[in-house]
Amino acid sequence: MTVKTEKFKTEVQHLLDLMVHSLYSNKDIFLRELIANASDAIDKARFEALTNQSVSADWEIKITPDKDKGTLQISDNGIGMTMDEVINNIGTIAKSGTKAFLAAHQEKEMKNLPDLIGQFGVGFYSAFMVADKVELVTRKAGPSSPAVRWESKGQEDYTLDKSSATEQGTTITLHLKADAKSYLETWKIKEIVKKYSDFIEYPIKTPAEKKKSDGSESTELEILNSQKAIWLRSPEELKEEDYKNFYSHISHFGGEPLLNIHFSAEGTSEFKALLFLPSQAPFDLFMMPDQRKKTLHLYIRRVFISDECSNLIPEYLRFLKGVVDSSDLPLNVSREILQENAQILKIQKNIVRKVLAELKKLQENDKDKYLTFYKEFGKVLKEGVATDHANKDKILELLMFETMKNTDGKLITLKEYLDAMPPLQKDIYYVTGESRAMLENSPHLEFLKSKGYDVIFMIDPIDEWVVQSIPEYSGKKLKSVGKGDIELDDESKKEAEEKTEKADKEHKNLIEFLKKELTEKVKNVRFSKRLTESACCLVSDEFDPSAHMERIFKAMKQQMPQTKRILELNPEHPLINAFQKLYDKNPANPKLSEFADMLYDQALLTEGNAIPDPLNFSKKLASLMVTGIEKEVEVVK
């Protein structure tokens, strides 16, 4: 046969330009594609070998760089191609030999078909990103198939000829462009194979210089890939050591996993997953998504596709490490571009359901291990309450909090809080703040302490945001102790109303004075049902932002509209009676105005807020101290 020149059967100029310049964002992908195609070819040959012993071989893929010639060779001893198959599978871009192979055998209802990742025509042409000429020599497995040589510069035509090759399989030789010579470096080849093809089932080999015991050097073939895709094996076949080693490999983080989640999904979406809960949070856990190290990898039939598939898991599960390997994920032209986002979302749904179920199981069966997980990743898990409405109830069951009646550091669930509630308690009470130490002495807790009620301490910054998505739990409202009115039992309500009504009558003029004096600072002044010891406190209206929320925004240098709050007074505190006496003596006394400001500043200090004018406050306080000390001295005399 003489050399034959053929025109491509598609609009080659347009398609090749798409392949080379638009389809792939990373040129390294070409090697991944060619290795994947070689793996497919060996899969086909192995399948054929079940009924044809002449097809058998020691399966392998070779990558051979030649710096002198500027060529990179990728070869396999797989099924190979005939002349007609070369024309059909390579002469026509996007003609999928794999797809045709499966279709032909499925028509015969044959079982045990090999797993193939396919789209041969497209992946093959990624070679032109780095090569200005590509040669292919292939021989179909079997005793009577002649070898074929194909060559193209990736323009409008290609040449075909016979070849003298005698071994089954395919060898692709890339004549690299001037700006692609780095692909001749062994370190670069190793890097790409390790990233994209480490778990290909067949050994991927490349020549390497080895030193002998006598000091001389020889060239030997070095295996570049681990071939250990343990997620495809049954959990019963694996030991704990296998999981630990793979975790170390995939996470690049060190330490040991806290929990392995190894499962398969079948049905509308088929995939296998091996996920790990780390035992320690990485330093970048709360960085922006584009600044975090990606450690959940998407594979298709052992071939690495991406670690940047944002829809694979929701953000609140970003602590997961591991691998998801899909069997039926649809792809668009290349393996980089996912065709149907809906399919990814089905995978996500399955992963979320499984992970939440495993966390619940861990919480119930190994509380200590769960607490280890929660103390590292609880803040992240909480995000799901506000973002994953479909699974909010499941996530709520997993949340844990400190409470007023439990010791420092002890965490309980909302269910445990509910089970311990006194019969007369109507709501689940919580308070937000920066630390337990600050909240324990909050004046907002005084009445609840006196009744023996517990209060949840929400001390994570995210709690302010999360709690807005939890209006109630198991039929009980979640009530902030620093907002609105406290819902009391009938007996307490009657007693509190009697006290406040009496105080309203006795201190009517004083209350009006304080409202007028503090009109720029508060929206109202009233007597409190929640104070039993402190003289005063500030509370927000039911739907206003809390003081803690305002502090958070201020710390982040975010603008937030200033919200006036309500100044509540303890109707039985001696300070109020003393204030009233001073007012009755002389309503025009300038000291009344100073004391009103100090009352407001005192309320700010008790909740941990800064006062507007600390110097002025200290001067007034010093003046009061002088007066008090002088009176004490007079008494002693």
Residues 276, 325 within the same domain? yes
Residues 177, 236 within the same domain? no
Percent of the chain whose predicted confidence (pLDDT) is above 70: 87
User: 213-243 burial string, b = 16+ CB within 10 Å, else e?
Assistant: eeeeeeeeeeebbbeebbbbeeeeebeeeeb
Summary mean pLDDT of the chain: 85
What is the predicted pLDDT for the residue at 202?
93
Residue 341: pLDDT band with limits 50, 70, 90? low
What is the predicted pLDDT for the residue at 96?
56
Residues 237, 323 within the same domain? yes
Percent of the chain whose predicted confidence (pLDDT) is above 90: 48
Task: Judge whether 30 lies within some domain.
Answer: yes
Task: Judge whether 554 lies within some domain.
Answer: no
Task: Judge whether 494 lies within some domain.
Answer: no
Residues 130, 260 within the same domain? no
**Could you tell me the two tokens for 396?**
């709520």
- Residues 433-444 have a mean pLDDT of 89
What is the predicted pLDDT for the residue at 11?
52
- Residues 157-177 have a mean pLDDT of 92
- Number of neighbouring beta carbons within 10 Å of residue 270: 16
Residues 36, 148 within the same domain? yes
| β strands within 147-267, DSSP E | 147-152, 157-163, 169-176, 204-211, 217-223, 257-265
Task: Judge whether 125 lies within some domain.
Answer: yes
**Could you tell me the two tokens for 565?**
């709050």
pLDDT beyond 80 at 616: yes
Residue 485's φ and ψ, nearest 5 degrees, are -95, 150
Task: Judge whether 375 lies within some domain.
Answer: no
What is the count of structural domains for the chain? 4
Closest CA to 320 of 345, 299, 343, 294: 294
- Residues 14-26 have a mean pLDDT of 66
Identify the domain boundary among 173, 188, 223.
223
pLDDT beyond 50 at 118: no
pLDDT beyond 60 at 109: no
| CATH, residue 424 | 3.40.50.11260
Residue 307: pLDDT band with limits 50, 70, 90? confident
What secondary structure does DSSP assign to 31-74, as a single string?
HHHHHHHHHHHHHHHHHHHTT-GGG-----EEEEEETTTTEEEE
What is the predicted pLDDT for the residue at 305?
81
Residues 99, 26 within the same domain? yes
| Greatest mean pLDDT among 48-57, 106-115, 466-475 | 466-475
Residues 448, 304 within the same domain? no
pLDDT in tens, 546-569: 777 777 776 666 777 778 899 999
Residues 317, 426 within the same domain? no
Residue 339: pLDDT band with limits 50, 70, 90? very low
pLDDT beyond 90 at 317: yes
What is the predicted pLDDT for the residue at 333?
39
| CATH, residue 16 | 3.30.565.10
> Are the C-beta atoms of residues 361 and 351 closer than 8 Å to each other?
no
What is the predicted pLDDT for the residue at 1?
56
| β strands within 312-455, DSSP E | 321-326, 331-332, 334-338, 400-403, 412-413, 428-432
Residues 203, 238 within the same domain? no
DSSP tag of 325: E
**Could you tell me the two tokens for 373?**
């997980």
- Residues 423-427 have a mean pLDDT of 89
- Say which residue, 629 or 10, is predicted with more confidence: 629
| CATH, residue 270 | 3.30.230.80
| CATH, residue 592 | 1.20.120.790
Residues 196, 237 within the same domain? no
Task: Judge whether 371 lies within some domain.
Answer: no
Task: Judge whether 383 lies within some domain.
Answer: no
> Are the C-beta atoms of residues 168 and 79 closer than 8 Å to each other?
yes
Identify the domain boundary among 174, 199, 223.
223
Task: Judge whether 465 lies within some domain.
Answer: yes
| Interior angle at CA 456, CA 480 and CA 453, nearest 5 | 85
pLDDT beyond 70 at 166: yes
Coil/strand/helix, residue 507: coil
Q: Which domain holds residue 455?
A: 399-480
What is the predicted pLDDT for the residue at 95?
54
What is the predicted pLDDT for the residue at 105?
58
Residues 36, 140 within the same domain? yes
Residues 360, 427 within the same domain? no
